[in-house]
Chains A and B, each alone.
Chain A
Amino acid sequence: AQKITQTQPGMFVQEKEAVTLDCTYDTSDPSYGLFWYKQPSSGEMIFLIYQGSYDQQNATEGRYSLNFQKARKSANLVISASQLGDSAMYFCAMRDEGAGGTSYGKLTFGQGTILTVHP
């Protein structure tokens, strides 16, 4: 079974500074994908970044980067130059992407980390 652990219930960061949100995962599947989503107080789930387990390089999307350490089973999100609008709940998720997987396409989410950006 897949499991995502986000150990930081809440994080605080000063505007314009960088912040790292932790995510560790557990899976026996050789092929999987890792995701980060942002959920503002308005409730929508905003896709931030995706990393495939066989991708050689860490994924980056603008100010977001995913620090993927396969041996440690970690997929931390790094937000550079934080902005006030980054204040939100952040979820790490993973998906089995093996052809023979029974959890075809299913995303498993962590409990989330609430990020607060201070001016």
Chain B
Amino acid sequence: DAGVTQSPTHLIKTRGQQVTLRCSPISGHKSVSWYQQVLGQGPQFIFQYYEKEERGRGNFPDRFSAQQFSDYHSELNMSSLELGDSALYFCASSLASRAEAFFGQGTRLTVV
């Protein structure tokens, strides 16, 4: 069975640009969450979606947005990129809110 897949795996953007990261959850999983991990720290929660509705939002600026589509894949969008947005971005999928959460391989974003 395919696990959580994220694309792209790496990308480099310039300050001020916009970027969209994609996540496909495990088949049957309806919950997708997004996390940011900067070097040396644990992942920080950005968003959670369940059945295409936003169910949770972390302490991130409005430049960060996300959505979940009818096939349950999700996209994280970041606009007006800043150097501090350079990080590893993960998505995680769960069958439900009270179940194991499995992570994708991550997208490494570098803002220059």
Contacts and interface: CB of A to CB of B under 8 A. Distances in A.
A112 B43 CA distance: 10
Contacts of A95: 97, 101
B43 A109 contact: yes
A104 B50 contact: yes
Interface string A22-40: 0000000000010101000
Interface residues of A, number: 26
A7 to B, nearest CB: 14
B35 interface: yes
Contacts of B56: 102-106
B23 to A, nearest CB: 13
B43 A43 contact: no
A47 interface: yes
Contacts of A108: 45
A50 B35 CA distance: 19
Contacts of B48: 104-106
Contacts of A52: 98
Given A95-B97, A107-B101, A111-B41, 10 more contacts: A43-B88, A45-B106, A103-B45, A103-B56, A104-B50, A105-B31, A105-B56, A106-B33, A107-B35, A109-B42
